[in-house]
């Protein structure tokens, strides 16, 4: 199963008010294992960068001024995404900006049916706890010491580790170990059954009673009071 973990950086919070996507980072995972394949791009938003947004991700208007427009790189992004499910933290925010940019260049938006939101997963797994990416990294012991500012690819890499934990994490390995142990036990039991099913032929042994044993048995039978076989022997035969 192929999934894409992704994150975006933007000029603000609302694409409908003119905010734009300026960075996207994607991590490919297959069966919950990162493959090493990534996609990363910066985009020229063709607008100013608010100081509050720059303080979060460190991307200045000058830095982005020579970067390509989203539309000029859209094909390679869509090729990387394919038809896989897309995993993001507070995914509606990222989907909103991604789809806004796609619509601006005449492309079909990504269906929300493909959306997997790790915030929603964290709320289910840890109700009442903090669900920020930093908080989840702390909960799961994921090193984020190199995260000085937000960055789309870096955050996607951290989110990939969080997503693994939210979907089983180290328990996946334990499950495999348990399965292997079950196979071992089953094989052992099969071996035991096979061994017990083997019949070893032995020569018949003579268990004839000794004369004194036969005499003691006769005396014991005579001493019985009204034995049941005596009654049966006394009954007349019926025709």
> Over the stretch 34-87, which tens digit does the pLDDT of each residue have?
999 999 999 999 999 999 999 999 999 999 999 999 999 999 999 999 999 999
Query: What is the spatial distance between Cα 108 and Cα 74, in angstroms, rounded to a whole number?
Result: 11
Residue 15's pLDDT band, with cuts at 50, 70 and 90, is very high
Output the pTM of the full model. Answer: 0.70
Catalytic residue among 40, 146, 150, 217: 150
Domain boundaries, the chain: 2-170
Angle at 166 between CA 161 and CA 170, to 5 degrees: 70
Query: What is the spatial distance between Cα 10 and Cα 18, in angstroms, rounded to a whole number?
Result: 11
Note the CATH number of domain 2-170.
3.30.420.10
Describe the crossing of helices 91-104 and 70-81 by its angle, rounded to 10 degrees.
120
Report the first-to-last Cα separation within the chain, whole angstroms: 82
Cβ atoms of 154 and 25 closer than 8 Å: yes
Query: What is the spatial distance between Cα 43 and Cα 24, in angstroms, rounded to a whole number?
Result: 9
Note if 150 is an active site residue: yes
């Amino acid at each position: 199963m192929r999934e894409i973990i992704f994150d975006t950086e933007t000029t603000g919070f609302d694409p409908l008010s003119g905010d734009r996507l300026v960075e996207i980072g994607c991590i490919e995972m297959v069966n919950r294992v990162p493959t090493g394949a990534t996609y990363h791009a910066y985009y020229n938003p063709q607008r100013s960068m608010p100081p509050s947004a720059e303080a979060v991700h460190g991307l200045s208007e000058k830095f982005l001024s020579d970067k390509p427009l989203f539309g000029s790189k859209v094909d390679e992004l869509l090729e990387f995404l394919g038809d896989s499910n897309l995993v993001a933290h507070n995914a509606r925010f990222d989907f909103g900006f991604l789809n806004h940019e796609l619509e601006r260049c005449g492309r079909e938006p990504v269906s929300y049916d493909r959306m997997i939101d790790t915030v929603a997963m964290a709320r289910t797994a840890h109700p009442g706890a903090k669900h920020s990416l930093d908080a989840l990294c702390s909960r799961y012991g994921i090193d984020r010491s190199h995260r000085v500012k937000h960055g789309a690819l870096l955050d996607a890499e951290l989110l990939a580790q969080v997503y693994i934990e939210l979907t089983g994490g180290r328990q996946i390995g334990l499950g495999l170990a348990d399965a292997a142990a079950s196979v071992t036990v089953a094989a052992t039991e099969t071996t035991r059954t096979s061994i017990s099913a083997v019949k070893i032929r032995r020569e018949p042994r003579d268990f004839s009673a000794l004369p004194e044993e036969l005499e003691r048995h006769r005396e014991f039978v005579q001493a019985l009071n009204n034995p049941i076989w005596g009654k049966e022997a006394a009954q007349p035969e019926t025709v």
